[in-house]
Each structure stands twice: as structure tokens, then as C-alpha cells.
């Protein structure tokens, strides 16, 4: 039996949770972090994605996030995002837990999305915590809070910062109680997010990985599909439909 058929059998049982990373948005034109052409090839995370970097040079950090927000605002969900939304509509997928900050799962129609690392489409005030929705790229070099004029920051989780407690608790609950975790487009390099597939496996779930390259998870995955999520996930959904229509 090939990988897609085995994965389809596991997904067709239901109680599936998807855990996604930058690879699921690659075919929407959003650069990934690692690997060829990745963001960390051109930029240093410690210089852009840490509170210290923002304190040191907020204008530089804002310029980088504005560039990424402009990419996201003009990006469209790709067939991988749409396939996951379809599995949710079919009642097989409970939620998507994402490390991504691009909002493309919601744009594809996914209803239950847990954003572990925040969102590029929101800013929050460093003084009063006020949250601002960013539907366009802010013009100001240093965007200000509409409530108290304090300095706004991207509402994402930087290295060294803890994850939003509610999102993390929900993610652990989902991982511990699912029957199958679809791990899509992540290098499983960043913690604590990368511990979620291990939590799922410990809870008895089957792990189905979809990634262009092997990752630390590959060795313990029940199925590891090598290729583009935008091509493989629609094939998986078609095979699931064939299975449940028999
Ligand atoms: C915390 C949001 C402490 C911002 C991000 C040493 C050991 C262990 C841990 C640490 C350590 N030193 C420091 C740490 C902690 C650190 C960490 O894990 N560092 C790593 C690098 C070692 N973690 C943190 O700091 C976290 N916080 O630990 O807090 C704490 C605890 C308690 C109390 C207070 C504090 C916070 C981490 C969050 C950082 N924020 N993003 C932004 O986006 O700007 S991380 C960012 O990288 C992403 O969000 C994602 O989570 C992460 C990994 O990226 P991926 O999504 O996996 O993408 P990547 O490019 O790496 O891989 C792409 C994959 O897709 C590849 O496998 C590729 O083959 C595949 N692919 C590509 N194209 C396709 C594809 N697959 C399918 N189809 C395709 N088309
Ligand atoms: Zn404020």
C-alpha cells in the first residue's frame, strides 16, 4: 500500500489534528525560514525576531515585518490550506494548530485555527497592550497605539518569548486527544511547538508527515510523505473521499 493510501486510512478514522509550519504556505509565495531561499539565509533571527532586536532598533524590525506583511496581504491560500479546510468541513479534522503567522488557514476557510506564534496581521501596544488589526501595511516608520500613542509591535512570538498561554494549552489538549496528527511543512526545529507531535504520539495518535525534506520527526512518523503539500494534500483528500464513499 502506498503512503497516500495508508495516510488516507488513518485520516478517514477522524479526530485528526493538523500541525503546520512555513512549508504549508510556501506554495502561496511566502518564504520559509530554513532551507534554500529561506528567511534565515538572508536575515539573522536574533537580529530581527527577538525582543532585544526590537528594543535595539524598532524601525529595522518594523521594516522587516512590514515587508513580510505586504507578502501575506497579497498572498492567496494554496491547495494545501484548502484541503485542510475541506477535511474540517467533512468532520474529520478537529483543528489546525499552526506555527505560521500569515492567517492563510483562516483565509482558506478553516474555522478552528490555533495560532501558536501570533499573527503578522495584528500589532499590539508595548505600553497598554491594545491590539490593532493590520489590514494594510502601516505607513508610519514606528506605528503608534490609537489608544495611548505607545509604540506598537508585531503581535508575534519572538525567540525567548513564551507562547500565548491559551493557545498553548489548547494545542496540548488537541495533541493529547487526537487519533491522527497531520504534521505539514515544518522542520520541527522550534520549541515548545515541535514537542506537539511527540505529545500526540504519546497519546496514541498516528503521525502523518508531509514535508519536502526529512525532519527529526520522519523517523517516528507512521507515514512520511515526501513532496509539496499543495500537491499531496489534495491527493490525500481525494483518497479519503474514495475510502469513505465505498
Ligand atoms: C520559548 C514567529 C522560553 C515570529 C517564530 C535550545 C534548545 C531548545 C530550545 C531552545 C534553545 N535555545 C532557545 C530555545 C528556545 C527557542 C527555540 O526553540 N529555538 C530553536 C531555534 C532552537 N524557542 C523559543 O524561543 C520559543 N519561546 O522557548 O520561550 C520561555 C519559556 C517560558 C517562559 C518564558 C520564555 C518561541 C519560539 C517562537 C519563535 N517565533 N515565528 C515570526 O514569524 O517572525 S519561529 C518560526 O520558525 C516559525 O514560527 C516556526 O515556528 C519556526 C520553525 O519554522 P517552520 O515553520 O518549521 O519552517 P522552516 O522553514 O523551519 O521549515 C519548513 C519546512 O517545510 C521544511 O521541513 C521544508 O522541507 C518544508 N517545506 C518547504 N516547502 C514545502 C515544505 N513542505 C511541504 N510542501 C512545501 N511546498
Ligand atoms: Zn497603547
Q: Is the CB of 99 under 6 A from ligand 1?
A: yes
The distance from CA 95 to its chain's CA centroid, rounded to whole angstroms, is 12
- At a CB cut-off of 8 Å and minimum separation 6, what does 174 contact? 17, 94, 95, 97, 114
- At a CB cut-off of 8 Å and minimum separation 6, what does 128 contact? 145, 147, 148, 150
Tell me what the mean pLDDT of segment 200-217 comes to.
Answer: 97
Ligand 1: distance of its center to the CA of 240 in Å? 30
Query: Is 211 a residue whose pLDDT tops 90?
Result: yes
Query: Is 1 a residue whose pLDDT tops 80?
Result: no
Mean pLDDT of the chain: 96
Q: Is the CB of 180 under 6 A from ligand 1?
A: no
Q: Can you give the pLDDT at residue 42?
A: 84
* Architecture of the domain made up of 31-74+118-156: 2-Layer Sandwich (3.30)
Catalytic (active site) residue 81? no
* Architecture of the domain made up of 1-29+77-117+163-246: 3-Layer(aba) Sandwich (3.40)
57-98: per-residue pLDDT in tens?
999 999 999 999 999 999 999 999 999 999 999 999 999 999
121-131: per-residue pLDDT in tens?
999 999 999 99
Q: Can you give the pLDDT at residue 246?
A: 86
Ligand 2: distance of its center to the CA of 222 in Å? 48
Q: Can you give the pLDDT at residue 5?
A: 96
Domain ranges of the chain: 1-29+77-117+163-246, 31-74+118-156
Tell me what the mean pLDDT of segment 40-66 comes to.
Answer: 92
Q: Please state whether beta strands 180-184 and 152-156 pair in parallel, antiparallel, or not at all (unpaired).
A: unpaired
* Beta carbons of 167 and 144 less than 8 angstroms apart: no
Q: Give the position, in ligand 1's atom list, of the atom nearest the Cα of 34.
A: 60
Amino acid at each position: 500500500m502506498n503512503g497516500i493510501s495508508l495516510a488516507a486510512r488513518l485520516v478517514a478514522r477522524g479526530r485528526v489534528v493538523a500541525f503546520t509550519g512555513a512549508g504549508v504556505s510556501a506554495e502561496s509565495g511566502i518564504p520559509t525560514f530554513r532551507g534554500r531561499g529561506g528567511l534565515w539565509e538572508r536575515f539573522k533571527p536574533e537580529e530581527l525576531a527577538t525582543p532585544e532586536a526590537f528594543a535595539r532598533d524598532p524601525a529595522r524590525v518594523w521594516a522587516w515585518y512590514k515587508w513580510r506583511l505586504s507578502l501575506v496581504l497579497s498572498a492567496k491560500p494554496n491547495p494545501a490550506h484548502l484541503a485542510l479546510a475541506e477535511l474540517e468541513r467533512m468532520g474529520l479534522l478537529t483543528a489546525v494548530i499552526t506555527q505560521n503567522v500569515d492567517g492563510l488557514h483562516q483565509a482558506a476557510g478553516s474555522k478552528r485555527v490555533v495560532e501558536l506564534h501570533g499573527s503578522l496581521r495584528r500589532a499590539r501596544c508595548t505600553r497598554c497592550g491594545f491590539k490593532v488589526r493590520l489590514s494594510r501595511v502601516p505607513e508610519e516608520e514606528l506605528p503608534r497605539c490609537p489608544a495611548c500613542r505607545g509604540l506598537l509591535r508585531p503581535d508575534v512570538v519572538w525567540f525567548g518569548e513564551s507562547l500565548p498561554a491559551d493557545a498553548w494549552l489548547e494545542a496540548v489538549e488537541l495533541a493529547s486527544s487526537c487519533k491522527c496528527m497531520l504534521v505539514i511543512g515544518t522542520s520541527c526545529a522550534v520549541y515548545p511547538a515541535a514537542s506537539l507531535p511527540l505529545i500526540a504520539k504519546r497519546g496514541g495518535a498516528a503521525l502523518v508527515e508531509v514535508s519536502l525534506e526529512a525532519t527529526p520527526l520522519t523517523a517516528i512518523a507512521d507515514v512520511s510523505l515526501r513532496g509539496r503539500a499543495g500537491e499531496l494534500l489534495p491527493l490525500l483528500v481525494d483518497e479519503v473521499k474514495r475510502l469513505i464513499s465505498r
